Amino acid sequence: MRMIDLRSDTVTRPTPEMRRAMAEAEVGDDVFRDDPTVIALEERAAELLGKEAGLFVPSGSMGNLVSLMAHLGRGQEVIAGRQSHPVLHEAGSHAVVAGASVRTLDELPDGTLDPDEVREAFRDPTDEHEPITGLVAIENANAATMNRPLTPAYTAEIAAVAHAGHGTAPGVPLHVDGARLWNAVVGLGVSARELAGPADSVTFCLSKGLACPVGSVVVGSREFIWRARRARKLVGGGMRQVGILAAAGLVALRDGPAGMIERLAEDHANARRLAEAIADMDGVESPGDIAQPEPGPLDPSRVVTNFVLFRVRRDREAFIEALWRRGVLVVAFPHGQVRAVTHYGIERDDIEAAIAAVSEALAETSLAPVVA
Ligand SMILES: Cc1ncc(COP(=O)(O)O)c(C=O)c1O
C-alpha cells in the first residue's frame, strides 16, 4: 500500500537533483570558513531576504535559539506568541540556554500579535523587579492558524512597535521565525525581501516544504550574524564538511522551476482541495482555537498555505487510526485538532485518495463516543 504521509512537510525526501548536488558538492572545513558551498548558501539566503549575511544551522530550533542568544543577554525577555514554536516546542531553550524569559501574548485568528498588546508588554526598565524587554518575535507563516502568512504591512507595523519601545523602555529588534517563510512568500505572492525587510533577523527552514534533508538559515546584519555564529559554536553547532548538506539548500533556493520555492503553490492548491472536499462531510468541523474560532463547518478559505486543521465529531484517536490503516498518515494537533500537511511528494491523486479515506474513516468511527 502506498503511504500518503500528511503528518508534516518535514517528512519530505530530497529530490534527485539535490542528491546529485550533495554527492558532487565542493566542501571544506566550515569552522575554518573553508567550505565554499556553505558560503554560497549563506550568501544566497542573505541575498534573497535582503540582509547582509547568513548562517547555516542544523535546525529551525537552533536558528531560533542562536538568534535569541545573539539578541538577548541573560535576564532579558522576549515578547512572543503563546503558541509560538520557541514557547511550546523547543524544550525551553530560551530559558535553559539563553537565560531569557518570555512574555507571552495570545495570537489573533489571523496569526498576528496585537500591536497595542505588544507595546503594552514592554517592561518598565526603571523597575528593578522586572525583566528587561530585549526582543519581539513573530512566527511567519503561523502554524497554529493553519500556517497562515503574515503580510509585509503587518511585519512593518510590528517592527515599528518593537523599534519604538514604550515609555522609558527603549526599542528592541524584531525576530521572525520563518520556519515556513517560503509558504508565506508564495501564499501572499510577495517577495521574501518584502517579508523580511522590516525584521532584524529571520530564520527559515530548508528541511520542510523545500524538501532538503537537513538545515535552516539565519539571516541578519553582519554584526548580528557574527554573534549568532558565536552562539552556534556555544551550543555545539559548528560543523565541518557541511557543504554536503548546504548543496541541497542551494538547489532548493534556485529561481524558477529549477528550485523548490515556486512549487509550494501546488501544495497550497492540494491543501485547499483537501479542505474543500472534507468540509462538507458529516463529522468534520471547525478546528476551533485560533485556527477558526467560530464553531460550525470547516471553512476552506482559511487554508491559504499547506496546513489543514480540523476537528472530528468522533473519537479522534480512533479516526486517526482508521486513516492510518488506509495508508493516510495525519497527526493529532493541540486543541483536539487533526492536522494534515501537503508537501513535495504528495500529488493530486494522493489528495483524492486521502479524501476517500477520510470519508471511510468517518463512517467507520461514527458509532464511537462523540468527543466533547
Ligand atoms: C514554526 C516553527 N518554528 C521552528 C521550527 C523548528 O524547526 P526544527 O524542527 O528544524 O528544529 C518548527 C518545526 O516544525 C516550526 O514549525
Q: pLDDT tens for residues 285-307? A: 999 999 999 999 999 999 999 99
Burial of 73 (0-12, 13-18, 19+ CB in 10 A): exposed
CA 42 to chain CA centroid, Å, is 19
CA of 166 from ligand 1 middle (Å) equals 30
* Contact indicator for 163, 175 with CB cutoff of 8 Å: no
CA of 61 from ligand 1 middle (Å) equals 6
Report how far apart, in Å, the C-alpha atoms of 6 and of each of 182, 327, 348, 355 are: 19, 10, 13, 12
- Please name the residue whose Cα sits nearest to atom 6 of ligand 1: 60
Q: Which atom of ligand 1 lies closest to the CA of 10?
A: 14
On average, the pLDDT of the chain sits at 97
Q: What tens digit of pLDDT does each residue of 314-337 get?
A: 999 999 999 999 999 999 999 999
Distance CA 342, CA 336 (A): 20
Burial of 186 (0-12, 13-18, 19+ CB in 10 A): buried
Give the residue ranges of DSSP H helices in 165-263. Answer: 181-188, 192-196, 222-234, 243-252
Average pLDDT over residues 153-174: 98
* Substitution site in 85, 139, 180 for ligand 1 pocket (most atoms within 8 Å of beta carbon): 85
- Looking at residue 201, what is its pLDDT? 98
Q: Is the pLDDT of residue 68 over 90?
A: yes
Domain 263-364 top-level CATH class: alpha beta
CA of 5 from ligand 1 middle (Å) equals 18
- In 3D, which of 242, 264, 214, 221 has the Cα closest to residue 70? 221
Distance CA 60, CA 67 (A): 10
Q: Is the bond preceding residue 269 a cis peptide, omega within 30 degrees? A: no
CA of 58 from ligand 1 middle (Å) equals 11
- Please name the residue whose Cα sits nearest to atom 8 of ligand 1: 60
CA of 367 from ligand 1 middle (Å) equals 37
Average pLDDT over residues 62-81: 97
Q: What tens digit of pLDDT does each residue of 181-225 get?
A: 999 999 999 999 999 999 999 999 999 999 999 999 999 999 999
Distance CA 156, CA 118 (A): 14
* Substitution site in 7, 12, 61, 214 for ligand 1 pocket (most atoms within 8 Å of beta carbon): 61
- Looking at residue 371, what is its pLDDT? 53
- Tell me the percentage of the chain whose pLDDT exceeds 90: 98
CA of 77 from ligand 1 middle (Å) equals 21
Q: Is the pLDDT of residue 372 over 90?
A: no
Distance CA 29, CA 202 (A): 25
Confidence of residue 368 (pLDDT cuts 50, 70, 90): low
| Cell numbers representing residue 157 in the block | 507595523
CA of 284 from ligand 1 middle (Å) equals 27
CA of 126 from ligand 1 middle (Å) equals 35
- Please name the residue whose Cα sits nearest to atom 7 of ligand 1: 60
Report how far apart, in Å, the C-alpha atoms of 137 and of each of 65, 87, 103, 185, 290 are: 12, 11, 10, 18, 18
* Substitution site in 56, 175, 205 for ligand 1 pocket (most atoms within 8 Å of beta carbon): 205
CA of 69 from ligand 1 middle (Å) equals 17
- Please name the residue whose Cα sits nearest to atom 5 of ligand 1: 60
| Cell numbers representing residue 328 in the block | 493516510
- In 3D, which of 149, 148, 175, 8 has the Cα closest to residue 79? 175
Q: Which atom of ligand 1 lies closest to the CA of 58?
A: 10
pTM over 0.95: yes
For domain 14-258, give the fold.
Answer: Aspartate Aminotransferase; domain 2 (3.40.640)
Contacts with 35 (C-beta within 8 Å, 6 or more apart), sequence order = 27, 28, 29, 240, 241, 242, 243, 246
Average pLDDT over residues 152-170: 98
Region of 80 on the Ramachandran plot (φ > 0 left; ψ -120 to 50 alpha; else beta):
beta
Rounded-to-10 torsion of CA 100, 106, 109, 115: -80
- Looking at residue 108, what is its pLDDT? 97
- Looking at residue 365, what is its pLDDT? 96
DSSP tally for the chain: helices H, then strands E: 14, 13
The residue extents of the domains of the chain are 14-258, 263-364
* Contact indicator for 136, 199 with CB cutoff of 8 Å: no
- Tell me the percentage of the chain whose pLDDT exceeds 70: 98
Residue type, 28: G
Distance CA 213, CA 330 (A): 21
Q: Which atom of ligand 1 lies closest to the CA of 180?
A: 1
Instruction: Determine phi and psi for 281, rounding to 5 degrees.
Output: -80, 140
Tell me which DSSP letter residue 114 carries: P
- Looking at residue 1, what is its pLDDT? 83
| Ligand 1 residue neighbourhood (C-beta within 6 Å) | 59-61, 64, 85, 139, 143, 177, 179, 205, 207, 216
